[in-house]
A and B are shown apart, each in its own frame.
Chain A
């Protein structure tokens, strides 16, 4: 896989504030990478810097080997000459144009011929199932329809790179789930490279080849959705992505960890210095409550049960404190019931402090 986008040591400052503080990553050809993090973590600023809408303070950005921004060489290619495309959080569908004119914009800028434009616009509108509304004024569209037009417009001129700035955040939950599926489908079909920004961890895991977790202007972890979920590198990632129990304690020796309260847990990790004060994370979904064989077994009792529908959340009191456990909504346990918790060593993740 050849590299399409290369971001190196990117720094963006606004006066005293540092929004992005030394971010480096690369995106391969045809890859779909998501920048994930809480608001204010610098993910949108990073994306806008790639688009050329933000003036970074330091570092460099290149696309297909061509320098787009380079602080050292004082080079900053304007947005319109970078050849990337973008879907905006607010959709940015121009209300004074029809759906067709919106989608045709990038093609007209590129001075394509009339028949070429028509064909490309229709192809793009077909992809988002909006062809029937081509002549409608853009001001008379629903939120979901605007979203589709914005998408069609972004892909109509066949860009190689498409940037997505929280494109689904203004849709209601149901529509958001549908659009997620469509977006993933579209990414596969069009062979585009995309960088996607979201604060929704579920969305990030669902639609990405790789996820970059960011916090306060720096990258916390880069990995596939499975890697991020199963082996969070530190407390922030474990906490922000999915739900996890985090236990304080110290490493006792190879593969054993003494949690506060005297509980000894087994974990698998390449190496960890004995005696180090640190934490382990256990995903709430990986804990069993019916006393199966497991590397780690704890006794306790159910303190609280909350029925969520798709899952049931138990708070279990045990020697090492309160643990949150999420189980399928079958075989409900009563509050107060004694339970035997079990989870494997490979799901007990040693966190870097």
Chain B
């Protein structure tokens, strides 16, 4: 045995911890400092401290807070109804093609709220919206639908978050031991009685958990409120934060105070959610996977399949169709006799310098961040779940932390941090790359952890006992086994980067534009038709990555069975 005797493990672990702490915590420290700044908002470091910014938030922006809660409540209610119905249909009944339908249900998640918002403004905008155009052509007066409303914003958010609720609720339904229901049946309870006395009480905690989670996400959501809310003059907390940095002089103190408050509320709710889960108050969740015995729905099954397809139609097909239709016309109209079809919008989108540059930047960031990210995240996952070093739990907490921080708030924090840190990367792609890397940490680590935890620990231990050092074990056993997970994580991060909006709006410089904020800008300044073309180009990129991901994961599951 004359392989390297030097123990790399503590050195690499320590380095990673320092880097992550720097990325995750430092920006928030600056944000706290700025939120307490009552002097010149542009002074760094601040000269005077106080809580005036927080008081002002409740004094002057109380209607913003009310709007936020009202819209989040409406959207949560709708999302949970969607999620619960779909979860019940696809896990507890015997409708046909459940596997395919279950995969389809993921699609709305990849649509992004930004694309959804643009599409619904085309479909249901006042006057020129397709629905209203048809209504007028039929001789109707006024508008019958208007998406520029509280309900409209909530609707778009709910369509997107519905799939999140679906995934969470169906997970809790799947983890229920069917014997619990069967024993009720054996004791003589009817189907309905079983449902009411056994199924519902057992599933309820899972539904409440999903409600809490979705509500917290709604509070911090930005895209729909930005695209629909600002023209409609309906401000929520995220758009208010964004707005106060645009005023002159920009009120960073106020924005920071609002951002921190939002963060604290979301953090509290998500912590409560995690605490409930960990406390194990969910009798149904034993960690065992069960195959629930589906109920026979008879002819009703077709109706239930229809419900699933309706969701896909409303959340994916209709919006995409409307955007494609719009992007192919000179002036968007559904009255076919008036349409003038053209490819000019795509030509403009791909030909116009700034847009082309933004698209190129986004792709470049996606490739770069995904590549560097998976290496860093694979290391992190290994350190957290395998290395048994002291404080692995703390590192996990640190890594998952950005999840509880609304993207927008994180962007603001980074903006302020890098205006203060004397390294001149503000306004360059480097800062965006750093920001993306940080906000993608939870996504990447969770994806990779899923794979790592499936790998039996003794596979690694065996390598050690066979005489392999740490590096040799990593390269011959751990990393090859992680490869499918690494590819999946790479694609997910790539997609998330190309779609990124919340963080990017604050960090984009005039010479470092990216695609999502450019789409928002185009929507505000140029026509819907060009915006639609841009949104579709972005969506196309994501879809391409998605197709590769699906093929890949299917290949992997085949290999494993």
Question: Which of A79-87, A228-236, A283-291 sits within the interface?
Answer: A79-87
Interface residue ranges of A76-107 to B (CB < 8 Å) = 78-86, 88-90, 92, 94-96, 105-106
User: Are B464 and A88 within 8 A (Cβ)?
Assistant: no
A-B contact count (CB 8 A): 74
6 new A-B contacts, CB < 8 A, other than A51-B465, A85-B465, A110-B467, are A53-B461, A92-B456, A106-B466, A109-B3, A153-B466, A157-B466
CB-contact partner of B480 in A51, A52, A96, A139, under 8 A? A96
User: Are B464 and A52 within 8 A (Cβ)?
Assistant: yes
User: Are A95 and B481 within 8 A (Cβ)?
Assistant: yes
* B interface with A by C-beta (< 8 Å): 1-3, 5, 7, 456, 458-459, 461-469, 472-473, 476-477, 480-481, 483, 559-560
Flag whether A174 is at the interface (Cβ < 8 A): no
Task: Give Cα distance in the complex from A16 to B449, angstroms.
Answer: 28
Flag whether A74 is at the interface (Cβ < 8 A): no
User: Are A79 and B464 within 8 A (Cβ)?
Assistant: yes
Instruction: Specify the chain A residue showing the minimal Cβ separation from B463.
Output: A105
User: Are B458 and A89 within 8 A (Cβ)?
Assistant: yes
User: Are A105 and B465 within 8 A (Cβ)?
Assistant: no
CB-contact partner of A94 in B3, B5, B469, B477, under 8 A? B477
Interface residue ranges of A48-69 to B (CB < 8 Å) = 51-53
Instruction: Count residues of chain A with CB under 8 A from any CB of chain B.
Output: 28
User: Are A79 and B559 within 8 A (Cβ)?
Assistant: no
A222 to chain B, nearest CB (A): 25
User: Are B464 and A80 within 8 A (Cβ)?
Assistant: yes
Interface residue ranges of A169-213 to B (CB < 8 Å) = none
Q: Which A residues lie within 8 Å of B464 (CB)? A: 52-53, 78-80
Flag whether A111 is at the interface (Cβ < 8 A): yes
Q: Which B residues lie within 8 Å of A106 (CB)? A: 466-467
CB-contact partner of A109 in B468, B480, B481, under 8 A? B468
Contact indicator per residue, chain A 245-272, by CB within 8 Å of chain B (1) or not (0): 0000000000000000000000000000
Task: Give Cα distance in the complex from A153 to B464, angstroms.
Answer: 13
User: Are B459 and A92 within 8 A (Cβ)?
Assistant: yes
Take A81-B1, A109-B472 as given contacts and tell me if A92 and B466 are in contact as well, using a CB distance cutoff of 8 Å: no
Task: Give Cα distance in the complex from A163 to B458, angstroms.
Answer: 13
User: Are A157 and B467 within 8 A (Cβ)?
Assistant: yes
Task: Give Cα distance in the complex from A163 to B480, angstroms.
Answer: 26
User: Are B1 and A86 within 8 A (Cβ)?
Assistant: no
Q: For chain B, what secondary structure do more than half of its interface residues adopt (helix, strand, loop), or is it mixed?
A: helix
CB-contact partner of B476 in A79, A105, A153, A163, under 8 A? A105
User: Are A83 and B467 within 8 A (Cβ)?
Assistant: yes
The residue among B464, B469, B473, B483 with the most chain A CB atoms within 10 A of its own CB is B464
CB-contact partner of A90 in B458, B465, B483, under 8 A? B458
The residue among B2, B3, B458, B477 with the most chain A CB atoms within 10 A of its own CB is B458
A143 to chain B, nearest CB (A): 14
Instruction: Specify the chain A residue showing the minimal Cβ separation from B481.
Output: A96
User: Are B462 and A92 within 8 A (Cβ)?
Assistant: yes
User: Are A92 and B461 within 8 A (Cβ)?
Assistant: yes
Instruction: Specify the chain A residue showing the minimal Cβ separation from B559.
Output: A139
Q: List 22 A-B contacts (CB under 8 A).
A: A51-B461, A52-B465, A53-B461, A78-B7, A79-B464, A80-B466, A80-B468, A81-B1, A81-B5, A82-B465, A85-B465, A86-B462, A88-B462, A89-B458, A90-B458, A92-B462, A94-B459, A105-B468, A105-B476, A109-B468, A109-B472, A111-B3
Q: Which B residues lie within 8 Å of A84 (CB)? A: 465
Task: Give Cα distance in the complex from A144 to B464, angstroms.
Answer: 24
User: Are B461 and A79 within 8 A (Cβ)?
Assistant: yes
Interface residue ranges of A97-126 to B (CB < 8 Å) = 105-106, 109-111
User: Are B466 and A85 within 8 A (Cβ)?
Assistant: yes
Take A85-B465, A139-B560, A157-B467 as given contacts and tell me if A111 and B2 are in contact as well, using a CB distance cutoff of 8 Å: yes
Q: Which B residues lie within 8 Å of A153 (CB)? A: 462, 466
Q: Which A residues lie within 8 Å of B477 (CB)? A: 94
Q: Which A residues lie within 8 Å of B466 (CB)? A: 80, 85, 105-106, 109, 153, 157
Task: Give Cα distance in the complex from A167 to B561, angstroms.
Answer: 23
Q: Which A residues lie within 8 Å of B462 (CB)? A: 86, 88, 92, 94, 153
Task: Give Cα distance in the complex from A314 to B102, angstroms.
Answer: 58
Q: Which A residues lie within 8 Å of B560 (CB)? A: 95, 139
Q: Which B residues lie within 8 Å of A109 (CB)? A: 1, 3, 466-468, 472
Q: Which B residues lie within 8 Å of A80 (CB)? A: 464-469, 473
User: Are B1 and A110 within 8 A (Cβ)?
Assistant: yes
Instruction: Specify the chain A residue showing the minimal Cβ separation from B479.
Output: A96
Task: Give Cα distance in the complex from A90 to B469, angstroms.
Answer: 22
Task: Give Cα distance in the complex from A78 to B459, angstroms.
Answer: 17
Q: Which A residues lie within 8 Å of B456 (CB)? A: 90, 92
Task: Give Cα distance in the complex from A106 to B254, angstroms.
Answer: 63
Task: Give Cα distance in the complex from A86 to B467, angstroms.
Answer: 11
Q: Which A residues lie within 8 Å of B461 (CB)? A: 51, 53, 79, 86, 88, 92
B228 to chain A, nearest CB (A): 49
Q: Which A residues lie within 8 Å of B463 (CB)? A: 105
Instruction: Specify the chain A residue showing the minimal Cβ separation from B473.
Output: A80
Contact indicator per residue, chain A 277-307, by CB within 8 Å of chain B (1) or not (0): 0000000000000000000000000000000
Task: Give Cα distance in the complex from A163 to B472, angstroms.
Answer: 22
Task: Give Cα distance in the complex from A157 to B473, angstroms.
Answer: 17
Interface residue ranges of A111-160 to B (CB < 8 Å) = 111, 139, 153, 157
Q: Which B residues lie within 8 Å of A95 (CB)? A: 481, 560
Task: Give Cα distance in the complex from A157 to B472, angstroms.
Answer: 17
Task: Give Cα distance in the complex from A52 to B463, angstroms.
Answer: 12
Q: Nearest 4 CB-CB pairs, A to B?
A: A106-B466, A92-B458, A79-B464, A88-B458
The residue among B462, B472, B473 with the most chain A CB atoms within 10 A of its own CB is B462
Q: Which B residues lie within 8 Å of A81 (CB)? A: 1, 5, 467
CB-contact partner of A79 in B2, B465, B481, under 8 A? B465
User: Are B481 and A53 within 8 A (Cβ)?
Assistant: no
A148 to chain B, nearest CB (A): 15
